[in-house]
Structure formats: C-alpha cells, structure tokens
C-alpha cells in the first residue's frame, strides 16, 4: 500500500474517531491493518462494536465540507444502528457465528462463546450494515432465550451461503469474504466442509488463516504440503488471524483438525501448525495474565516446551524446561494441578 493511501486511510479514521468522541464515545481505537475503528457502547453493557471503514472510503467525494458531512452521517448511522435489539424476534435474523481464537480480544470482556476446536472458540455477533457487534454472555437472558438457542439461530443463518459449480481443473478453491458471507464460520456447520468434495475433487481439507480467507483443497492434492507454509505466513502476518492448522470433517460431519500420525507424509506440517497456533494463543493469554510462562517450539523435533520459573502458570506442552533440565510433561504431570477458569488451560506446581 502506498504512503498516500495509508495517509488517507489514517486521516479518515481520525475524523471518524473525533466524530465518535463528540457523540460521547471515549474508547475508540483505530486498527490500521484491518482498517477498522473499534469502540464500546457504554449504555449497552460495554458491548464491543467493530466499525468497517472501507465502504466510507470508497464513496468519499466532493468538497471538504461535503466529505465531513459524509463522515457525520456515517457515524450517526452507525451509532443509531449499533447496539443489540431488545426483542429476540428482531435480533435473531441478524445473528452470525464467528470462529476466533480461544482468548477473547482485550475489549471483549464477557463474550458469549463456547469451545469449537483446539485453541478456537465460537462467538456470536450481530451483523448490521458497517458494524459487527459481539453478543455478551448475559444477553440471552435479556432476550428470554438460552445460550444454545442463540448459537443455533446464528448457525442457521449461514445455511443459505453455498458454493455452486464443480472444480474445473483447479485443486484449490479460495473463498474471499466480502463482509457478508462469513466463509470461515461455515467450518462450524456440521457437514458443510464434507459437502465440498465434488468442488475440490476429493476429501476436502480447509485452512482459515484469517477472517477474510477460507482455502479448501483435496486431501492428497499436489498443492497441500506447500499450503501449510503459505497459510502459516498469512496467519502470522494478519491482524485478523484465526488459525494456521488444516481441518477436515470427521465421520459425523463435524470439522476437526487434520489427523496425521507419525510416519504420515504431512505429520511434521500438521504438528508444526498445531504448535504455532498454541504458542500464539498462549502468548495472547499471557498479555493479561500475570505469571504466565511462555510456550516455545524446539525446531529440531517440533516439540513444544513450557519454561518453568517459581510460581509460573505453565501452558500445556510436550516438555517442561526447569533450569538446565528438560523433562517430559508426562513425567511432571503428577506434580501439577490445573488452574481453574483459564482457556487455554494452564497448570501450576501443587502446594
């Protein structure tokens, strides 16, 4: 991206933030890489809102006064539409499930979520024009429904998004999200991934490196080994990262991590991807957890290691490093106890 374009984007974001502050919003923050502004609605239990700025930038035109008026109308419209509808009948068609890392973002304190896959959780958002609002854990009670009903309704709203046609010589299909399709969220739907077998020419294998990209290819296809490295790079460099791992459907149609036992051609690729995801999620958790020990990867054997120190909260790992000794997790597990309430889990020495 050129310098002038970055400057134009930053200037527009600053105008949006100033307009939000005049409206009483005190915590608006600009994410330059995602080109969004995030803020919370104080009058709605601190509900986090993500404001997408691409559409506003695309329709910018006219004099300075006219452009300023466009920002005013845009922000006023977002504030008017933001927040969560009071009635279940009104909010139900707006719900969407989203696949995210297990550790919530710092400004989402009590989101409605449930485990989805290792180191990943399923959240629910209210999808409105220009904004996406996370549903809080207490919101189902306000709507008079259960959390399960909220998750079910959100998933049901994705049924209409399907891939049509068959693969025509292409072994890899890439879904680029336009903001409405929620392609990566489709991995939460039982049977959806398996249903792409005809499109990719074999058992589908999916990657979701970041929120706007879903990549699907056939198991055993020539591009599959190279995709692991490409996806890892995309995952590590994206401000909207989800996972570097590969996924398939199990016998019941549920999306699960790609299985690879020792001796499998992709064993090292799969093992590394799982380790990278674990390290990133534990690192995010450690940002707000005092005493959290780091998780590192030994490149020579792809084993993860927890670095112990007095009072440390250890991540789950293959090995534990204690001073100059490296001990297998199984050898120290009897001396550890799990710390309650943490996801991903952490452990400490007993006593």
**330: pLDDT confidence band, cut at 50, 70 and 90?**
very high
Which residues make Cβ contacts (< 8 Å) with residue 136, sequence separation at least 6?
45, 46, 47, 110, 111, 112
The per-residue pLDDT for 62 is 78
Which residues make Cβ contacts (< 8 Å) with residue 62, sequence separation at least 6?
70
**168: pLDDT confidence band, cut at 50, 70 and 90?**
very low
Using the predicted structure, report yes or no on whether residue 37 has a pLDDT greater than 90: no
Q: Which of 166, 68, 172, 84 is nearest to 125 (CA)?
A: 84
Q: What is the average pLDDT across 156-182?
A: 65
Using the predicted structure, report yes or no on whether residue 109 has a pLDDT greater than 50: yes
**Cα distance between residue 69 and residue 67, in whole Å:** 5
Paired strand residues for 213: 176, 210
Q: Which of 52-66, 98-112, 280-294 has the highest mean pLDDT?
A: 280-294
Q: Which residue has the higher pLDDT, 46 or 114?
A: 114
**Cα distance between residue 214 and residue 128, in whole Å:** 22
* C-alpha separations of 87 from 45, 144, 150 in Å: 16, 9, 13
The per-residue pLDDT for 167 is 47
| DSSP, residue by residue, 165-213 | S--SS-SEEEEE--SSS-TGGGGGSTTTTGGGHHHHTSSEEEEEEETTE
Using the predicted structure, report yes or no on whether residue 46 has a pLDDT greater than 80: no
CB count within 10 Å of CB 165 equals: 8
Q: Which residue has the higher pLDDT, 78 or 169?
A: 78
Using the predicted structure, report yes or no on whether residue 67 has a pLDDT greater than 90: no
Pure H helices in the chain = 3-22, 54-58, 64-81, 88-91, 139-143, 147-156, 197-200, 224-237, 267-286, 329-332
Mean pLDDT score across all residues of the chain: 86
Q: What is the average pLDDT across 303-321?
A: 94
Provide the pairing of β-strand 346-349 with 314-315.
Answer: antiparallel
**Cα distance between residue 346 and residue 348, in whole Å:** 7
Paired strand residues for 28: none
Residue 289 and residue 313 in contact, taking contact as beta carbons nearer than 8 Å: yes
Q: What is the average pLDDT across 308-326?
A: 93
Q: Which residue has the higher pLDDT, 348 or 8?
A: 348
**331: pLDDT confidence band, cut at 50, 70 and 90?**
very high
The per-residue pLDDT for 53 is 84
**Cα distance between residue 114 and residue 122, in whole Å:** 5
**DSSP structural state of residue 262:** T
Per-residue pLDDT tens over the stretch 216-273: 999 999 999 999 999 999 999 988 899 999 999 999 999 999 999 999 999 999 999 9
Using the predicted structure, report yes or no on whether residue 45 has a pLDDT greater than 90: no
- Dihedral angle of Cα 152, 154, 159, 161, to the nearest 10 degrees: -160
């Amino acid at each position: 991206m050129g310098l002038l374009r970055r400057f134009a984007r930053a200037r527009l974001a600053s105008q949006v933030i100033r307009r939000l502050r005049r409206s009483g919003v005190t915590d608006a923050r600009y994410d330059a890489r995602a080109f969004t502004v995030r803020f919370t609605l104080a009058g709605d239990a601190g509900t986090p809102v993500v404001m997408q700025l691409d559409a506003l930038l695309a329709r910018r035109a006219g004099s300075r006064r006219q452009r300023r008026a466009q920002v005013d109308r845009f922000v006023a419209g977002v504030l008017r539409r933001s927040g969560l509808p009071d009635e279940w009948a009104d909010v139900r068609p707006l719900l969407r499930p989203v696949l995210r890392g297990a550790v919530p973002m710092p400004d989402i304190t009590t989101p409605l979520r449930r485990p989805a896959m290792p180191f990943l959780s399923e959240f629910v958002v209210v999808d409105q024009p220009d904004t996406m609002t996370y549903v809080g854990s207490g919101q189902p009670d306000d709507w008079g429904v259960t959390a399960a009903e909220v998750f079910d309704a959100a998933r049901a709203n994705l049924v209409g998004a399907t891939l049509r046609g068959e693969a025509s010589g292409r072994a890899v299909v890439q879904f680029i999200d336009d903001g409405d399709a929620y392609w990566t969220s489709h991995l939460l739907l039982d049977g959806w991934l398996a249903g792409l077998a005809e499109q990719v020419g074999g058992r589908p294998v999916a990657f979701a490196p970041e929120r706007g990209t879903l990549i699907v290819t056939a198991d055993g296809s020539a591009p599959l080994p190279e995709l692991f490295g490409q996806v890892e790079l995309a995952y590590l460099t994206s401000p909207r990262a989800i996972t570097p791992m590969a996924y398939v459907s199990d016998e019941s149609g549920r999306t699960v991590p790609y299985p690879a036992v020792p001796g499998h051609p992709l064993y090292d690729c799969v093992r590394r991807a799982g380790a990278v995801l674990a390290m990133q999620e534990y690192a995010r958790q450690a940002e707000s957890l005092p005493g959290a020990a780091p998780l590192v990867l030994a490149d020579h054997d792809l084993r993860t290691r927890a670095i112990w120190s007095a009072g440390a909260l250890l991540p789950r790992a293959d090995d534990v490093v204690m001073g100059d000794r490296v001990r297998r997790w199984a050898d120290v597990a009897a001396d550890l106890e799990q710390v309650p309430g943490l996801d991903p889990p952490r452990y400490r020495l007993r006593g």
